[in-house]
Copies of this chain bind each other. A is one copy, B any other.
Amino acid sequence: MNTFTEENYLKAIYHLSLQSSSVSTNQIAASLNTKAASVTDMLKKLAEKGLINYTKYQGVTLTAAGEKIAVSIIRKHRLWEYFLVEKLNFKWDEVHDVAEELEHISSKELVDRLDDFMGHPKYDPHGDPIPDSNGLFKTHELKPVATLVINENGIISGVRDHSTAFLQYLERMQLTIGKKIKVTEINDYDHSVILQVEDKKVHISREVANNLLIAI
């Protein structure tokens, strides 16, 4: 099929495509911690295989075939993360690196049975949607807590930053997926926000409010 490395490139291009329609060499290099020259080489190979549309100096988009592969990798990544948290009692901040390896296990039978075993979960531990066996999933509409006004409420449904540091911080503050929150105060000076979470008040910075997402 495709190498481990090719799969990682396709996944990176897919994620970057959600931001901008066309993806640049440097964006890919940054996201994969590699050099632009290496990216150019790989882009030629992926174009050769019909997985991306590539014109020199013009950036790339995924073809339908490339997107299908990218989505299947993402399905595996998120299902494994769900498994690790729900069945093996990992914390939500501990699963990403292991899932980066598990997502490359090739058996489709395996991932489909894993999906059955867990009852077809719709979202991974970070609130990201899990594509079904046909690659279909809702791109759910989320917005940052920072966009709420006083007295607005919502349900925590995702994060924009997946770093261990951020996830651990949220865990400590009890700002986890599914929690109902209400904005009680917004600081004019630094745009920090005070939330009502269950029976407690939690004070978060503008940065945190930007990276914490609620369902619309």
Contacts and interface: CB of A to CB of B under 8 A. Distances in A.
A169 interface: no
Interface stretch (A13-21, A30-38, A100-108): A100-108
Given A98-B107, A105-B102, A107-B98, A117 B87 contact: yes
A16 to B, nearest CB: 26
Q: How many copies does the complex hold?
A: 2
A89 B88 CA distance: 18
A102 B111 CA distance: 12
Contact of A98 (B88, B89, B97, B105): B105
Chain A residues touching B, range: 10 to 19
A113 B83 CA distance: 12
10 smallest CB-CB distances across A and B, nearest first, come from A88-B113, A98-B107, A101-B105, A98-B110, A88-B117, A87-B117, A102-B105, A88-B114, A101-B106, A89-B113
16 contacts: A84-B110, A87-B117, A88-B110, A88-B113, A88-B114, A88-B117, A89-B113, A90-B109, A90-B113, A94-B109, A98-B105, A98-B107, A98-B110, A101-B105, A102-B105, A105-B105
